[in-house]
Amino acid sequence: MKNPSSIKKILITAGPTREFIDPVRFISNPSTGAIGYAIAGIAAKKGKEVILLSGPTYLKPPPNVKIFYFESALDLEKLAGKYFKWADCFISSAAVSDFRPRLKEKEKIKKKNGINSLLLVENPDILKSLAAKKKDKILVGFALETENLLKNALLKLREKNLDLIVANKLSSAHSPFGTARVNAYIIDRRGCKKYDAVNKVKLARIILDRVEQICYSFKHV
């Protein structure tokens, strides 16, 4: 396992995907990319080489970060596959759609013509497929749940062979999308810690610190 000083190249995904139904309509989610952009900016300030893969967002790219844009999950799959080998650490914070329309209409669907149903197909599990090529890389994932938060996050941690997962719960009382502060659990294979009402810049620092702690603990086992 790598030691903290050997984590020099960090690949980060951020923001939503858009899965187009026709040229003007798409399936997406409310992700703003804020946490991924914050992690990228702080990592760059720490002197890391950073590649940020960003979905559609209005955020300004952080200084000293190389950025590439994607729109769909299939776009992201290609970009992540291209740069994964380069990275020492992969932080997957993008909110990737699990499904996409089976067909994208070439022309705008007219309202008067209507639509009876929308056939969906499953998108590839990008993080899981990359984890199969993990070797000595550090992998960080995110989990957003509406129920059984810790149970589902732990399952994802194990199934996708992650070193760390950041878990958030979406409810009528709290949404982690586009808010200044979030409630989050940071979980690794040794346990978890809850952070209440933490802003995303601070959370980004905590995540990067935990990555270095994981590296250090493996080095001294």
Residues forming the active site: 29
Whether the CB-CB separation of 107 and 22 falls below 8 Å is answered with yes
Whether the CB-CB separation of 84 and 11 falls below 8 Å is answered with yes
Q: Which residues contact 66 (CB under 8 A, 6 or more apart)?
A: 49, 50, 51, 52
How far apart are alpha carbons 107 and 104 in whole angstroms? Answer: 9
Instruction: Tally Cβ neighbours within 10 Å of residue 115.
Output: 12
Whether the CB-CB separation of 178 and 16 falls below 8 Å is answered with no
CA 172 to chain centre: 23
Pairing between strand 191-199 and 138-145? unpaired
Q: What is the DSSP string of 140-185?
A: EEEEEESS-HHHHHHHHHHHTT-SEEEEEE--SS---TT-SEEEEE
Partners of residue 101 on adjacent β-strands:
120
